A and B are shown apart, each in its own frame.
Chain A
């Protein structure tokens, strides 16, 4: 085994690939070899790092130096200064860390504890960090119902949107006696501003596989499908590779760890439809149909894919499971709030100093997330609102930033929590424009099955266009709110029930902007 003096981790994700990270890495290796450093400095590829510095980013251990936006022409200086002489190249250091603004909190993480630290393509590195120990424990030392009970006790709630208790969901499917059950993983992340699941899959694909396997063992499924959006090429590639590796190691396939439990995981690729995030629409899509949602009940847990009992879980939910099994329900329940345990991954975007991701305890306030993890407002321009939860989200003004981010405190807006998208707007942003963009999105994504949503989303779009152009009346504003309320009560699925959230919250806190435009 070789021992290296330093490890240089390069973030490989969609963003850095588009900045030419592959060519960069080749050149960097050349330069290191030129200085005869190839046996001292270990260059590794990892997933998304925990900050979104622009362009090509990297972390150097053991120094724990973060570099961002490094260019080809910086390579000679970087190598001769940092790796030859041991002097940090200050001008390339990620600003957030240098100024002590944006916090990086690896130690406190549950879901993203490996992301940006290990090579996602190496199962050995995952195992080296304690990976697959939870699965081994579940299969060899616990009965399936004990696993379900443990997850129930942990208080884990679904990270897809609605926040349904995960253990309870599993407990509906587990006792059913039938020839075939399925686990379906919802990786069709389509909520604008949300890409937490992409980061988990790019950064630590084995964690998801372990979570899936534990779930399948608990509910008695022998087949799992990961339904992933077609645009996530890198995730698809990494997961395929990870599944292959796990099979070679006997962690997937027949008689896992020598037990009677067998599991096969397949990847299914979506074709671009927001509504397929709804679990029954997703199942329809898996069966080769239009992604129109189904009537509930029966719920998928009883009658799902090909009419067989099917547990549908979100990526982040399942990625939390290995921790619970390995460390016990109490350890997980200690984090977050009593009603809402564990951690939550957020993506912080828009007009903040350092757009990025963070994993924090449930219940952390939006103010903390924006200021401590996002580095506060960009260029010090005053905060106006945060759109939390994507298109099906709510506008939070400054006065609401101290609300605890958990299902209980958010009350009627609880559905916005799952997505984890935080889009920050400064005082120069027009809320009317943002609402226009949101309603345009809904109009495009309505599946057309039920009339309240099909007609309602079009009507809402027409109204906001009219208002935006200055042709609207005060009655139009009332009409929008009434229509969205009717949709909430009558639409077939969550898509048509959602426009009320951005509309109501925009009107509640920023009505003046709309009133200024209507006559």
Chain B
């Protein structure tokens, strides 16, 4: 499975970031496994420790298995001003998880994010690639239920 991804990129170190993106995006649990790191290391000829130093530096990568849907709630000043902390409390209550944790059914992982660049509609969260803005308690419940319903 890694071969298909590797074939798209020349074996040079500058492609590391894009290979990591793609491996994580295509993994059902949205993370980069130890096995993947070993394979990348062999392909690029880059030491494992360098790959881990990169993975842990950037917030978009995870070394832990995550849920099917990754919620990234912005907590930067513009969203904070518009009550992102209340939204966080609401999400924690309905999902029964803390930031960084995954729900028991494996459906959601809750994460906090720095500015997502959609501040005109603060408070904002992203679920996978979709942006949800102008969040209120009611809207959050609706969004989560809709995803739960659709699975």
Contacts and interface: CB of A to CB of B under 8 A. Distances in A.
Interface of A: 14-15, 17-18, 52, 54, 189-195, 198, 229-233, 268-274, 285-291, 347, 349-351, 355-357, 387, 390-391, 421, 423, 425, 429, 433-434, 437-438, 440-441, 444-445, 447
8 contacts: A18-B121, A52-B121, A271-B59, A290-B53, A349-B119, A350-B78, A390-B77, A429-B81
A233 B15 CA distance: 19
Among A192, A268, A425, max chain B CB count under 10 A is at A192
A17 B20 CA distance: 27
B27 to A, nearest CB: 15
A274 B29 CA distance: 25
Contact of B60 (A272, A356, A429): A272
A350 B81 contact: yes
B114 A441 contact: yes
A479 B18 CA distance: 43
B141 interface: no
B54 interface: yes
B120 to A, nearest CB: 4
B77 A231 contact: no
Interface stretch (B63-71, B87-95, B131-139): B131-139
B117 A189 contact: yes
Give chain B's interface residue range (CB within 8 Å of chain A).
35 or more
Given A273-B58, A349-B78, A350-B78, A52 B114 contact: no
Contact of B126 (A229, A231, A273): A231
Contacts of A444: 114
Contacts of A18: 121, 130-133
B43 interface: no
B105 interface: no
A118 to B, nearest CB: 21
B21 interface: yes
Contacts of B50: 289
B13 A15 contact: no
Given A191-B115, A230-B60, A347-B120, A441 B77 contact: yes
A54 B75 CA distance: 21
A195 B122 CA distance: 12
Given A52-B121, A271-B60, 9 more contacts: A189-B117, A192-B77, A272-B59, A290-B53, A349-B119, A423-B77, A434-B81, A440-B75, A441-B75
Contact of A15 (B17, B54, B118, B126): B118
B103 interface: no
B58 A193 contact: no
A379 to B, nearest CB: 14
Nearest to B54: A290
B115 A190 contact: yes
B114 A193 contact: no
B136 to A, nearest CB: 12
Contact of B80 (A347, A355, A433): A433
Nearest to A274: B114
Given A52-B120, A289-B54, A423 B78 contact: yes
Nearest to B12: A288
Nearest to B61: A271
B58 to A, nearest CB: 4
5 nearest CB pairs, A to B: A271-B58, A192-B76, A272-B59, A288-B13, A288-B16
Given A232-B117, A271-B20, A447 B131 contact: no
Contacts of B116: 231
A355 B78 CA distance: 12
Contacts of B119: 192-195, 347, 349, 421, 423
B129 interface: yes
A437 B76 contact: yes
B114 A445 contact: yes
A445 B120 CA distance: 22
Contacts of A192: 76-78, 114-115, 119
Nearest to B76: A192
Nearest to B58: A271
Contacts of A190: 114-115, 117
B50 to A, nearest CB: 8
Most buried by B among A232, A285, A291, A437: A437
B14 interface: yes
Interface in B86-128: 113-122, 126
A54 B134 CA distance: 8
B60 A195 contact: no
Contacts of A447: 57
A391 B120 contact: no
Nearest to A275: B57
Contact of A434 (B17, B21, B77, B126): B77
Interface in B1-51: 12-18, 20-21, 46, 50
A289 B20 CA distance: 12
Contact of A269 (B18, B54, B134): B18
Contacts of B82: 350
A274 B116 CA distance: 11
Contact of B118 (A195, A291, A423, A425): A195
B133 to A, nearest CB: 5
Given A15-B133, A423-B81, A269 B21 contact: yes
Contacts of B81: 350-351, 423, 425, 429, 434, 437
